[in-house]
């Protein structure tokens, strides 16, 4: 049986049309875009056309779009690049529910003298804007907030975060890796200064991402070398990746609204099926169907269940999901996100994340629900 893949927040399958668009650059059109002969210049043109497409989709200028190796690099660059450019300010405000590419980066910055403040979040993962108003001050260098949470799907009110940053003249970075192409993202409408995203979350290739940097903002180079990406991010461009990313965005934006509605219906169906059969199940994050939750995200905790055993058994049956735990130096640690939203101790280890995708069918959801109900009813996890 074909595996049932319910882990799209982790990564997605490359779209066939995207692969087709990339193929020439993986084979025959291999020349270095920085070289001066015609074939190379054509590759440079392909990069610039892709940059234009990407910029139009997020409502930016092409000169504000910098290609990176993915979301982690974009996040690292945003934070360290700004810190190394505006050295007079030493405080950063972020949230306790960031992806590790932000949380570990701020820990690094703390180790070299920065003060990091974490915003309070409520039980659904929404940040406390009053707390932001209290924390922000003349020494604040940057506010960095995850737009849509990768574990619990919470979508933050970025416009309101921006309004506060604007009053205090503080830069705003947004990790939009889970948001782009799943919910509308307009950099000017949101008012952000820097914004990160990554192609493999929307059926594009892995190893390619982007950092939007608003014109006028200085950002120190982290990868020194040649003059690529306007001289601030060196390295021979991943032409196939860049072309693939732009194509994937173009396709995904086209059917985003329709697909979101379909996924919301399937997410409610899945949740209701489990809720009707299992007494002790708790939904983490905002209500399913809420405009402030990622459409395909369902994060559940089962009381007194070991989610790692559940995942292991489901994996044997060809069903792929994520747990709410991470393996850190051999020990299973409950996720920092679930801890931050105060998931009770007797639920936290029984937490799973299901993330739906374009190919997910109702039949797959039924198979998944049947298996989970059986495991719990028979006390097998
Ligand atoms: C919210 C968020 N930020 C950043 C990343 C890192 O992106 P990449 O895998 O492209 O490095 C991820 C990946 O899971 C993510 O979910």
Choice among 12-16, 358-362, 377-381 with the minimum mean pLDDT: 377-381
Mean pLDDT on 342-371: 97
Ligand 1 geometric centre to CA of 71 (Å): 5
Average pLDDT, the chain: 96
C-alpha dist (Å) from residue 77 to 66, 82, 171, 196, 331 = 11, 8, 14, 9, 30
Q: Which ligand 1 atom lies nearest to the CA of residue 72?
A: 11
| Ligand 1 atom showing the smallest separation from residue 207 Cα | 10
User: Matching CATH topology for 16-254 and 256-377?
Assistant: no
Quick one: average pLDDT of 352-364?
Answer: 97
Q: Residue 181 catalytic?
A: no
Q: For position 326, what pLDDT does the model report?
A: 61
CATH of domain 256-377: 3.90.1150.10
Q: Is 103 in the pocket of ligand 1 (CB under 6 A)?
A: no
Cα 198 to ligand 1 centre (Å): 7
Cβ-based neighbours of 46, under 8 Å, separated by 6 or more? 25, 29, 33, 239, 242, 243
> Catalytic one among 165, 181, 210, 327?
327
For the stretch 317-340, pLDDT in tens is: 999 999 876 654 555 688 999 999
Side-chain half-sphere of 107: how many Cα atoms within 13 Å?
Answer: 8
pLDDT at 1: 78
Q: Measuring CA to CA, how many Å separate 256 from each of 110, 241, 358, 376?
A: 38, 21, 10, 35
Give distance in angstroms: CA of 99 to centre of ligand 1: 7
Which whole number is the average pLDDT over 93-112?
98
Q: Taking the domains of the chain in order of start, what are their residue ranges?
A: 16-254, 256-377
Question: Above 90 in pLDDT, residue 299?
Answer: yes
Is 211 in contact with 196 (CB distance < 8 Å)? yes
What is the predicted pLDDT for the residue at 301? 97
Residues paired with residue 195 on neighbouring β-strands, in sequence order: 174, 212
Long-range contacts of 265-270 (CB under 8 A, 24+ apart): 266/296, 266/356, 266/360, 266/362, 266/365, 267/295, 267/296, 267/297, 267/298, 267/356, 269/362, 269/365, 270/298, 270/354, 270/356, 270/365, 270/368, 270/369
Query: Residue 349's pLDDT band (boundaries 50, 70, 90)?
Result: very high
289-311: average pLDDT: 96
> What does the pLDDT read at residue 325?
64
pLDDT of 330: 53
Condensed to tens digits (0 to 9), the pLDDT of residues 124-183 reads 999 999 999 999 999 999 999 999 999 999 999 999 999 999 999 999 999 999 999 999
Residue indicated by tokens 């025959």 = 28
pLDDT at residue number 333: 81
Ligand 1 centre to CA of 203 (Å) is 14
User: 206, 11 in Cβ contact below 8 A?
Assistant: yes
pLDDT at 284: 98
Give the residue, out of 147, 183, 201, 353, with the most ligand 1 atoms within 8 A of its beta carbon, to mutate for a pocket test.
201
C-beta of 357 in contact with ligand 1 (< 6 A): no
47-82 per-position pLDDT tens digit: 999 999 999 999 999 999 999 999 999 999 999 999
pLDDT of residue 334: 86
Return the CATH number of 16-254, one of 3.40.640.10, 3.40.190.10, 3.40.50.300, 3.30.420.10.
3.40.640.10
Q: How far is CA 354 from CA 21, 27, 81, 177, in A?
A: 30, 36, 34, 17
Q: Which of 9, 71, 106, 294 to mutate to test the pocket of ligand 1 (most atoms within 8 A of CB)?
A: 71
What is the residue with the minimal CA distance to atom 16 of ligand 1?
150
Q: Is the pLDDT of residue 223 over 70?
A: yes
Amino acid 331: pLDDT: 56
Average pLDDT over residues 276-302: 97
């Amino acid at each position: 049986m074909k595996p049932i893949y319910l882990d799209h927040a982790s990564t997605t399958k490359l779209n066939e049309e995207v692969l087709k668009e990339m193929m020439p650059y993986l084979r025959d059109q291999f020349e270095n875009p920085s070289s001066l002969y015609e074939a190379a210049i054509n590759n440079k043109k392909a990069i610039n056309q892709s940059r234009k497409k990407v910029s139009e989709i997020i409502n930016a200028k092409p000169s504000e779009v910098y290609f990176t190796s993915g979301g982690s690099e974009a996040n690292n660059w945003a934070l360290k690049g700004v810190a190394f450019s505006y050295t007079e300010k030493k405080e950063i405000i972020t949230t306790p529910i960031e992806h590790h590419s932000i949380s570990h980066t701020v820990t690094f910055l703390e180790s070299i003298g920065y003060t990091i403040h974490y915003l309070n979040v409520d039980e659904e993962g929404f940040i406390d804007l009053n707390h932001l108003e209290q924390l922000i001050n003349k020494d604040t260098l940057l506010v960095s907030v995850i737009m849509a949470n990768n574990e619990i799907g919470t979508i933050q009110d970025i416009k309101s975060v921006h309004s506060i940053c604007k009053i205090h003249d503080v830069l705003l970075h947004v990790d939009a890796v889970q948001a782009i192409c799943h919910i509308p993202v307009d950099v000017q409408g949101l008012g952000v200064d820097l914004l990160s995203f990554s192609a493999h979350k929307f059926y594009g290739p892995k190893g390619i991402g982007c950092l939007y940097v608003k014109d006028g903002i200085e950002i120190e180079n982290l990868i020194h070398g040649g003059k690529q990406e306007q001289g601030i991010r060196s390295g021979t461009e991943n032409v196939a990746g860049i072309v693939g990313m732009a194509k994937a965005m173009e396709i995904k934006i086209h059917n985003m609204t329709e697909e979101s509605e379909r996924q919301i219906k399937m997410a409610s169906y899945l949740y209701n099926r489990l809720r009707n059969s299992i007494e002790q199940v708790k939904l983490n994050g905002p209500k399913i169907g809420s405009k402030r939750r990622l459409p395909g995200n369902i994060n559940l905790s089962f009381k007194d269940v070991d989610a790692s055993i559940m995942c292991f058994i489901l994996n044997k049956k060809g069903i792929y999901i994520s747990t709410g735990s991470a393996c850190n130096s051999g020990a299973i640690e409950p996720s920092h996100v679930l801890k931050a939203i105060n998931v009770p101790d007797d639920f936290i280890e029984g937490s799973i994340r299901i993330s739906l995708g374009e190919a997910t069918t109702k039949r797959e959801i039924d198979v998944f629900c049947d298996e989970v109900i059986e495991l719990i009813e028979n006390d097998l996890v």
